[in-house]
Amino acid sequence: MKETVIVLDFGGQYNQLIARRVRENHVYCEILPYTVPIERIKALDPKGIIFTGGPNSVYDPASPHYTPEVFALGIPVLGICYGCQLMAHALGGRVISAADDSVSEYGKTDTAYQTSCTIFREIPANGVSWMSHRDYISEVPDGFSVTATTAHCPVAAMANEEKKLYGVQFHPEVNHTDHGSDMLRSFLFDVCGCKGEWQMDSFIDDTVAAIKAQVGDKGVVLGLSGGVDSSVAAALLSRAVSKQLTCVFVDQGLMRKDEGDYVENTFTKLFDMNFVRINCQEEFLSKLKGVSDPEEKRNIIGTEFYNVFWNRIRDSYGSGFFAQGTIYPDRIESGKGDAAKIKTHHNQVGVPKDIHFEGIIEPLKDLFKDEVRAVGEKLGLPHELVWRQPFPGPGLGVRVIGEITAERVHTLQEADAILRDEMEKCGYAEKMSQFFVVLPGVKTVGVMGDARTYDELVAIRAVTTDDFMTADWARIPYDILGRVSNRIINEVEHVNRVVYDITSKPPGTVEWE
């Protein structure tokens, strides 16, 4: 059984970041909602537990709590922010509610640490920590000592070393806390006694062995979209069961220029696997004929994809195992509010009731995106496939504004290919989070070779972002934009004008539809 640390989710903003920080130390960790029964925690036999922050006050009747039994299991616990207050409150310390007296620390805060405390052993006695709280701890529980203070906060950290219980009011997981990673590392290795054996090499070996044992001599069918997750899942399954795997790739004709061929070549030549490509652009376009409402287009593309995919599976592969590229963030249960449900992500394709597989295999279900990429690199997938930009499920369908026709998709593909080519040539591609071309469906008047033109407008969209929830429009140098514009107008038929989208998100979105 691999060494595991549990991140108990009380609804904080940084919960996935805490889990990432733990995994960066090569310690496997799982995020569980605060509603998880303690028996499940005991069964996982974790090396340590981290209580996350959360937006509540411990005095709020609706606030999330956890049974104090957890502190008596002998398992080290680190409480962060709300998690620290919860620990203090549960064990008899005193938490002052913001309603009575608020210290309201937000942002970077000078903090003094007791470096004799195990989790502060590797850091200087003074530094900046990142605070975000209104309630505060005024008295620590019996057996605890104060291990950090700030000008306003009498208990910026506390510890009961004997029982291996630690709490920090600030957020060590965010970069703004000086030496936050060192604190977490000390907790993992010096307090919990972790060894740090979670490595992608061993992940590949273990997963391949597990898939082989599970599948035996049966078949496996995988829905391959050409995105990072399903591509890495395909490569991993191919290593495990070789020709017992069949990848089904639905090419609805709304991919970028040459992308369908690229995906097919990669998986048939590089991996020599059974690969079924369903070319169905005409079917998709006939369903989309005359439709220009964005939501209707999305619905048609989604439904048609589902039908095409399952009809093919039903006819030819409706037995054996079904595999998909679900990754960890797709299935994390949220601890927020009462709705502790698993989020259904677009790639968690529901299997129709009339198809009975032996089982579902999700080889990447425990990995974060960057871990998936590391596995992809180790399995020998091409760098550009592993590091590709996100691409919307409905493909270019949401970038051809208005009615989608084969001709307009072609125009968009050609213009987009020029943008990609120029961005790659000047080394700008890697600096962008995402860039592409949109066909807004507007015709404008121009003049070319002394003659009047009346042709399509093309818009260039490029953004930088960490999380795609917010995004800034990218400041691409004018000379690059100029070259792209020039080439698009000269090389792509039916285009006579190019504009650059300078809208951030919010108020815009990344895609236009």
Taking the complex as a whole, how short is the minimal distance between the CB of residue 382 and ligand XMP, in angstroms? 21
d(CA 455, CA 448): 11
Segment contacting ligand XMP by CB under 6 A, of 24-32, 215-223, 250-258, 389-397: 389-397
194 noted as active-site residue: no
Pick the binder of ligand XMP from 193, 359, 390, 477 (CB under 6 A). 390
Q: Which stretch binds ligand XMP (CB under 6 A): 68-76, 147-155, 162-170, 387-395?
A: 387-395
Provide the mask over 47-86, with x wherever binding to ligand XMP is found by CB under 6 A and - wherever it is not: ----------------------------------------
Enumerate the H helices of 178-327 as residue ranges.
180-186, 200-215, 228-241, 259-265, 281-288, 294-316
**Catalytic pick among 3, 105, 173, 304:** 173
Assigned token pair, 340? 């502790």
Contact between 454 and ligand XMP per CB under 6 A = no
CA distance 123 to 345: 40
List of residues 6+ apart from 483 with CB closer than 8 A: 422
Binder of ligand XMP out of 106, 454, 468, 478 (CB under 6 A): 468
Is residue 133 part of the annotated active site? The answer reads no
Residue 86 has φ and ψ, to the nearest 5°, of -65, -40
Catalytic residue among 171, 264, 304, 362: 171
What Å distances lie between residue 228 and 273, 368, 413, CA to CA? 17, 12, 21
Nearest to 50 by CA among 16, 26, 24: 16
Whether 494 sits among the annotated catalytic residues: the reply is no
Q: CB under 6 A: which stretch of 259-267, 315-323, 336-344, 392-400 binds ligand XMP?
A: 392-400
Q: How many CB atoms lie within 10 A of CB 327?
A: 23
Give Cα separations from 440 to 245, 393, 482, 500 (angstroms): 41, 19, 19, 12
Interface with ligand XMP (CB under 6 A), residue from 42, 152, 346, 425: 346
By CB under 6 A, residue 392 contacts ligand XMP: yes
Contact yes or no for 409/396 (Cβ under 8 A): yes
Nearer Cβ to ligand XMP (41/254)? 254
Rank residues 155 and 404 by Cβ distance to ligand XMP and give the closer one: 404
Q: Which residue has the tokens 């805060």?
A: 109
Residue 287 contacts ligand XMP per CB under 6 A: no
511 touches ligand XMP by CB under 6 A:
yes
C-alpha dihedral (17, 23, 27, 28), degrees to nearest 10? 90
Cβ-based neighbours of 339, under 8 Å, separated by 6 or more: none
DSSP string, 50-102: EE---SS-TTSTT-----GGGGGSS--EEEETHHHHHHHHHTT-EEE-TTT--
Query: Smallest distance, Å, CB 410 to ligand XMP?
Result: 21
Size of the site for ligand XMP (CB under 6 A): 11
Sole window of 45-53, 240-248, 356-364, 386-394 interacting with ligand XMP (rule: CB under 6 A)? 386-394
Confirm or reject binding of residue 316 to ligand XMP (CB under 6 A): no
Q: Is 434 in the site for ligand XMP (CB under 6 A)?
A: yes
Amino acid at 290: G
Q: Is 490 in the site for ligand XMP (CB under 6 A)?
A: no
Q: What are phi and psi of 403, to 5 degrees?
A: -70, 140
Q: Where in the sequence numbering do the catalytic residues fall?
A: 81, 171, 173
Residues that bind ligand XMP (CB under 6 A): 346, 390, 392-394, 434, 468, 505, 509-511
